[in-house]
């Protein structure tokens, strides 16, 4: 029976000091999920190198933890371009937790974080066969550009709002709570507004 996505579920910022949690999550991805995330195959060693080379000054990672284990991640990578900012977004969800709404929730939260950084356009790049990612992007009215086997979804983000700022503050607060009280998971998910 698939896990209940609401049970002991926590969305929060993943900090650079927690890179080993991220690495473990990516190493647990099935080969086809690795291919979908990185638009090509990566072996375990390549995953470890990827994690070592993350530019945390340009990257924010949001994680979904279920029963204390990181099972899904959203990456927001800033791409400065001529005084205006754009970002690339990517999402991974481990196989047992797919089709439970976690990818959609992560994209929603990632868009809040992006808009709080005055990101004008968020880009989602994926393979054309990544039907799940394309479906999630369309929920947020992404304009989809197909180029051979690749797809680019463009999402326009509005200015920050009180709600988006509170949402990100909640994600940060949950990260601080988790770091302070190791293995402590709120009895129910905390959600902003």
Q: How far is CA 24 from CA 9, 69, 83, 158, 184, in A?
A: 18, 10, 36, 34, 20
Q: For residues 44-81, b (16+ Cβ closer than 10 Å) or e, as one string?
A: eeebeeebeebeeeeebbbbbbbeeebbbbbbbbbeee
**Domain architecture of the chain: domains with CATH:** 9-179 (3.40.630.30)
Banded model confidence at residue 150, pLDDT cuts 50, 70, 90: confident
Q: What angle do CA 41, 47, 50 make, to 5 degrees?
A: 110
Classified as helix, coil or strand, 93 is: strand
pLDDT at 23: 96
Of the given ranges (60-64, 112-116, 176-180), which has the lowest mean pLDDT?
Answer: 176-180
136 vs 191, higher pLDDT: 136
Mean pLDDT of 123-140: 90
Beta bridge partners of 152: 125, 145
pLDDT at 81: 66
d(CA 40, CA 26): 14
What is the value of pTM for the model shown?
0.82
Q: Mark out the alpha helices in the chain (DSSP H runs).
A: 19-28, 31-38, 44-52, 102-116, 131-139, 162-180
Burial class (CB in 10 A: 0-12, 13-18, 19+), 146: exposed
d(CA 76, CA 14): 12
């Amino acid at each position: 029976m698939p896990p209940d996505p609401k049970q002991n579920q926590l969305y929060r910022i993943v900090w650079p000091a927690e890179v080993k949690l991220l690495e473990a999550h990516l190493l647990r991805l099935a080969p086809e999920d690795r291919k979908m995330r990185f638009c090509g195959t990566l072996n375990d060693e390549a995953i470890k190198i990827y994690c070592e080379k993350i530019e945390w000054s340009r990257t924010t990672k949001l994680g979904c933890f279920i029963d204390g284990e990181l099972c899904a991640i959203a990456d927001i990578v800033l791409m400065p371009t001529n005084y205006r900012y754009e970002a690339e977004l990517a999402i991974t969800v481990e196989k047992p937790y797919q089709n439970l709404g976690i990818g959609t929730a992560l994209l929603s939260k990632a868009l809040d974080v992006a808009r709080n950084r005055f990101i004008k356009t968020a880009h989602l790049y994926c393979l054309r066969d990544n039907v799940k990612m394309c479906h999630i992007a369309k929920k947020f009215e992404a304009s989809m550009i197909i180029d051979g086997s690749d797809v680019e979804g463009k999402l326009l983000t509005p200015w920050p709002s009180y709600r988006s700022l509170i949402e990100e503050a909640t994600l940060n607060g949950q990260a601080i709570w988790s770091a302070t009280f190791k293995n402590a998971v709120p009895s129910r998910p905390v959600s902003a507004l």
